[in-house]
Structure 1
Amino acid sequence: MGVYRGCECLYGGVCRGCECLWGRSIGAMSAYRGAWVSIGAVSAYRGLFLDDTKVKNFITCFKDVAFLAFFFKRLEPNRSGRYEAEFPFLSPCGGERNFLRCEDRPIVFTHLLPPPDPPSWLLSYCGGGHRLAVPFQPQSLVMLPENGRLYHPAPAKSGGVGLVRSALALEWSSGGAFEFGGGPTQPPTHFLWGGQRYRLTEELLPLLRGGEEVAVPLAPRQG
């Protein structure tokens, strides 16, 4: 994921709503350069951290599922006019703003969840279990040639595309789920899943490369 810097207080320098979590207002933290948060995961999922956390690992990351669901369901591009270059995303919390930066994408898919009542599997992201999950769309998986990472559609509000955790991508790759019709040096062309062979659409590539945004609709989640 990336790195999260807490909250910017909008109440005259007194951090009210998030005092129990952060205990400090941004006005008193010049070392934070104007925000407080940090989330961290690229090819490996690491989690959500306060930006000044020196050792970032499973022990120091946020693990409360309710908080993670609250944070990431409200995540959106930072168009506040403040710290946009340093923190491209923010998660509003009442009158406060939680600023976020990440090494690659803020949404990191970590686990594939078996279907409950509906027939579709779910991809869970950012440690939220079933609270943060989208229907798995095998045909929309795409490997970016520039970095070799695997991506999947994510909620449009948080950027429309998320990174697949390296461990999950490796599990699929080592299990022979990908077919490389263009040769071993080219991105995969097909994905084998659930007894079916899916041709990969690569429809996320324009969005990943920073071109014109392409809306890749998520399959409706049932149940």
Structure 2
Amino acid sequence: MLFLRTAALSCRGLTALRCMPAGFTASRTTASYVQGQSPEPRIREYFYYIDHQGQLFLDDTKVKNFVTCFKDVKFLVFFFSRLRSNQSGRYDGDFPFLSLCGRERNFVRCDDRPVVFTHLLQSAAGAPGVPGDQELLSYCGGADKLSAPFRPEALYMQPVSGRLYHPCSELAGGVGLVRSALAIELSPYFVYLSDHCQSGQPTHFLWGGQKHTLTNELAGCFPTAEKGSREQDELG
């Protein structure tokens, strides 16, 4: 893991020296840490941040943009395949996810969800456990090596934020965010109760020659937001 991270950082550093465009600075967490700290013998701890585009950064990177994010696919696959809920008892309030690698603890926080779906792919024929014509949602820069089967009926448009979500591995929280660019590509296929009003929740999704009834199975993952939305409607 250290070798992969060092290689990724070296490539990132060279690119950044060649071209450092303006970017935004993400707000820092209130947690106190030092990258690479060793709270116990032979244990190292690192801290990461995932933005709403699915880009991975060292948490204390000041300018967070495409130039400064990790882009090495091997590193990203290694990192995200080990992503779990942080139940270590350390930094769990600020970094709710953890990617373990031997004696390295990689603490992770995110803008929204740690899994961000970025592309819709057609699976390669003969992929283990996946039919050749199965469509996949790829996430966090891992191409088909980081992906989940696309389930059109399970897409969920959150009514308060307007963001689009899709199920992912329970180990990574069960809910993945669909990146805005991909959500825009998918938006024309949603069907609403009234063709003249798209301010409400969509009821169906047109895909693959079928009209899929949306299950809204992810609605229960946003209880506070849903309750707040209902209360606002009642007051209005």
Quickly say closer, same or farther: Cα 1:21–1:69, change in 2 above 3 A.
closer
Deviation at 1:25, TM superposition (A): 2.5
Structure label with greater radius of gyration: 2
Quickly say closer, same or farther: Cα 1:27–1:115, change in 2 above 3 A.
closer
Q: Is the 8 A contact 1:46 1:61 kept in 2?
A: no
Equivalent position of 1:57 in the other structure: 65
Equivalent position of 1:120 in the other structure: 134
Deviation at 1:146, TM superposition (A): 1.5
Equivalent position of 1:6 in the other structure: none
Quickly say closer, same or farther: Cα 1:115–1:18, change in 2 above 3 A.
closer
Equivalent position of 2:189 in the other structure: 177
C-alpha separation in 2, matches of 1:93 and 1:70: 9
C-alpha separation in 1, matches of 2:3 and 2:150: 37
Equivalent position of 2:234 in the other structure: none
Name the % identity.
Answer: 53
Q: Could you give the per-residue CA deviations for residues 153-193 of structure 1, whole angstroms, max 9, x where no partner exists?
A: 101111111000000001121xx211111642212111111
Equivalent position of 2:231 in the other structure: none
Q: Is the 8 A contact 1:142 1:205 kept in 2?
A: yes
Equivalent position of 2:80 in the other structure: 72
Name which of 39, 50, 60 aligns with 1:40: 50
Structure 2 residue 206 is the aligned partner of structure 1 residue 188 = no
Deviation at 1:19, TM superposition (A): 6.8
Superposition TM-score, scaled by structure 2 size: 0.73
Unaligned runs of 5+ in 2: 10-34, 126-131, 226-236
Q: Return the letter of the residue paired with 1:52.
A: D
Structure 2 residue 100 is the aligned partner of structure 1 residue 92 = yes
Name which of 126, 129, 138 aligns with 2:152: 138
Unaligned runs of 5+ in 1: 1-16, 29-33, 212-223
Superposition TM-score, scaled by structure 1 size: 0.77
